Amino acid sequence: MKLVRYGEAGAEKPGLIDADGVLRDLSEHVPDITGATLGDGALDALRALDTSALPKVAGSPRMGPCVGDIGKFLCIGLNYSDHAAETGADIPEHPILFFKANSAIVGANDTVVMPRGSTHTDWEVELGVVIGTEAKYVSKENALDHVAGYCVVNDVSERHFQTQLTGQWTKGKSCDTFGPTGPWLVTRDEVGDPQNLAMSLDVNGTRMQTGNTNTMIFTVAEIIEHLSHLFTLHPGDVITTGTPPGVGMGMKPPVYLKAGDVMELTIEGLGTQRQDVAADA
């Protein structure tokens, strides 16, 4: 299934994209797409619905973040060997973890607004993993059983804030609008192997990032295993899993976003995001 949340920000409704690409409303069956509706039983109940009988949604409404009331927004850094190389970083021995503030989360096609004083705003296409059932001390062998599905995330980053403002990476990762998520949540049964998904990102029509999740240093299963031994992963938690090479910071000379730019990013089977870039007043 492709689950979505559509409508104005703060008033999104639950829906799904049917086999013909038509947006259908799920409001009569679930109040929202959140951790409470992402367990295996709840997803099975949605799969059993006659999608042709669900109301069609007219027009082209805004697609909100594909998961509502996200619990933890967890991010893994330097998880592609070629990306680590372009930034001059060593291959990490364990997954590098940082957090993104939930206030950064926006819809897949919402405007990305660079904060005041930003001169080093960068792009990062990433595979997002949405937890469906509680995970504590799980092994990599059964880690994917705890996944509800996958989505596209743009881990927008202000590199000066991230590296020069003394402290954790969170400073440069958590600016408002720096977490476009969606357009839809694709359930794990439709994705299959999360370690073989092509991904790309363009800026103003020029390809910047090309990669595949098969070059991750730590697989999705290994990441879940590692994190679940540190703290409990709850339904509705989102994990972004790192980015392939081609970020602006890694170019020589570096290239950063400016107002008026347009980002377009895609992950195989998970949809496409498109964001206009603006500067905060």
59 found inside a domain: no
Regarding whether 162 and 44 lie in a shared domain, the answer is no
Residues 6+ apart with CB under 8 A from 271: 2, 108, 151, 152, 182, 183, 184, 186
Residue-level pLDDT at 202: 98
DSSP of 167-227: S-THHHH-STT-EEB-S-EEEHHHH--TTS-EEEEEETTEEEEEEEGGGBSS-HHHHHHHH
Instruction: Count the neighbouring beta carbons within 10 Å of the beta carbon of residue 196.
Output: 11
pLDDT tens digit sequence for 101-117: 999 999 999 999 999 99
Distance in angstroms (rounded) separating the CA atoms of residues 266 and 209? 10
| Residue 83 confidence class, pLDDT cut points 50, 70, 90 | confident
Regarding whether 132 and 34 lie in a shared domain, the answer is no
Regarding whether 120 and 13 lie in a shared domain, the answer is no
Regarding whether 262 and 200 lie in a shared domain, the answer is yes
Residue-level pLDDT at 194: 98
62 found inside a domain: no
pLDDT tens digit sequence for 211-260: 999 999 999 999 999 999 999 999 999 999 999 999 999 999 999 999 99
Q: Indicate if the pLDDT at residue 37 is higher than 80.
A: yes
- Give the range among 35-39, 98-102, 144-148, 163-167 with minimum mean pLDDT: 163-167
Regarding whether 112 and 38 lie in a shared domain, the answer is no
89 found inside a domain: yes
Give the angle subtended at the CA of 265 by the CAs of 146 and 170, to the nearest 5°: 65
89 is in which domain, residue-wise?
73-279
Regarding whether 188 and 142 lie in a shared domain, the answer is yes
Instruction: Count the neighbouring beta carbons within 10 Å of the beta carbon of residue 8.
Output: 10
Q: What is this structure's pTM?
A: 0.96
Please state the domain count of the chain: 2
60 found inside a domain: no
Q: Indicate if the pLDDT at residue 85 is higher than 80.
A: no
Spell out the alpha helix ranges (H) of the chain.
40-47, 81-86, 159-164, 170-173, 188-191, 220-228
Coil, helix or strand for 38? coil
61 found inside a domain: no
Regarding whether 90 and 139 lie in a shared domain, the answer is yes
Two tokens at 180?
């476009």
Coil, helix or strand for 272? strand
Q: Indicate if the pLDDT at residue 196 is higher than 80.
A: yes
258 found inside a domain: yes
22 found inside a domain: yes
How much is the CA Rg of the chain, to the nearest whole Å? Answer: 18
Regarding whether 189 and 256 lie in a shared domain, the answer is yes
The pLDDT of 30-53, averaged and rounded, is: 97
Percent of the chain with pLDDT over 90: 90
Regarding whether 134 and 47 lie in a shared domain, the answer is no
Regarding whether 232 and 119 lie in a shared domain, the answer is yes
83 found inside a domain: yes
Regarding whether 105 and 27 lie in a shared domain, the answer is no
Regarding whether 83 and 8 lie in a shared domain, the answer is no
